[in-house]
Amino acid sequence: MSAGPPRARARDLGLPFPGTPGPLNAITDVAGVEVGFCTLTDPGRGLRTGVTAILPRGHGPAPDPVRAGHFALNGNGEMTGTHWIDDHGSYLGPILVTNTHAVGAAHEGAVRWMLETYADHFRGAHAWAMPVVAETYDGVLNDITRLVVTPAHALAALRAARPGPVAEGSSGGGNGMIAYEFKAGTGTASRRTEAGGAWTIAALVQANHGLRPWLTVCGRPVGALMPEGRLIRRETGSIIVILATDAPLSPLALRAVAKRAAIGVGRAGTPGGHGSGDIFLAFSTAGAGGMAAPGEAMTTVRELSPDHLDPIYLAAVEAVDEAVVNAIVAGEDTPTVKPPGGVCRAIDTARLAALFA
C-alpha cells in the first residue's frame, strides 16, 4: 500500500512510547483488516486530497457485520452511519475517511463497492447499504471548493485495500491534513495486550487538529520548543480515530473503547477545541457481529467481561497517541493554498529525536 521508501516512524527516532506494538505497529495487525488509499495531488491546481479506505473484514464476498461503538468528543464534523451503530451495536461495510466536502462522493463510492462486492446479498433480499464515511477539513493545503473527489476515487481506495504496512502522512484522506501546525495526515499504531486472553488493539487516525503550543510528545513540550512556522491562532481542525481489535467485546464495551480515544488524542495536548470535529469509532472482528443466523430467534455471543477491560483501554490510549505522532513524523514541507504562497512545515525529526537522546 505504500509507494516509495518507508519513512522513519516515531519509534525509529527513539521516542519512548510505552506498550508493546504488533509486528507492523499498524491497524492491519488486527487479522482481516485491510487499508487502501487513493491520493490526489496536483500542486499546479492547488489540489492535495484523497480517500482512505478501511475494510474491517477485507474483501470477503459475503457481508459479515462487526460489532462496533462510536463516540464524539466534539461534534463539529461528520461520520455517517453512527446513529445505527449507536442503536444496533454492529455495522456492515467499509469505512472511508476523506475531506469535508467529499463525504457525499465517498458515500456513493462505498455504496457502489458494497453492491459490487456483495452482489448476491443485494440481489436476493431487501437490503440496504449504510457505510461509514468520516471527514476532516483540508482547506489550508487543498482547494476544497473544487470538489475533485468522486465516487470513482472512493472505489479506487476500496479496491486498493490490502493487509500489510500502512502508508502514513500524505496518504489518502490524510494528504491535505495538518496537526499542531505541522504537516500530518494519516497515522497508525497498534498494541498487544493480555486481558483474559491475548489481543491486539490498533488505531488509524486522520490527524488535522491542534495548536503548536499544545503539542506534547512522550511528556516533552515539543510544541513550545519548536515554535517556528506557525499557521493559525485558533483551532479549526478535526481528528478521526478508527480503533480495531480482535478482542470479543460487546457493543457497550466498544463504545467505552471509542471514548478512550479522547484520552489518547489528549495525550499530545489538544483539549478538543470548539471548532474541532473529534469523532471516534471502535470495532471488533471477533465472532460474527453478534447477529443471529437467518431464521433463528436467539443467538449466543462470547464477549470479554467488563472486569478485564482496563488493559484494553490502556492499549487503545497508547495506540492512538502513537498514531498521532506517527502522522506528524511522516509529514513533508507542503505549500499552502490559504494563504497562498505559504508553507506548512514538516516537523524537524532530527531535532525531535535529539530531545529524547
Catalytic residues: 238, 276, 278
- For residue 73, CA distances in Å to 238, 259, 266, 275, 280 come to 11, 8, 11, 12, 8
The radius of gyration computed from the CA coordinates of the chain, to the nearest angstrom, equals 19
Residue 286 gets which letter from DSSP?
Answer: S
Output the CA torsion sign for 165, 168, 173, 179. Answer: positive
**Owner of C-alpha cell 503548536:** 212
Give the closest residue to 226 by CA, choosing from 112, 54, 351, 127.
Answer: 351
- Report CA-CA distances (Å) from 341 to 43, 141, 330, 344: 12, 11, 22, 10
Query: Where would I find the H helices in 40-170?
Result: 82-88, 103-117, 119-124, 151-159
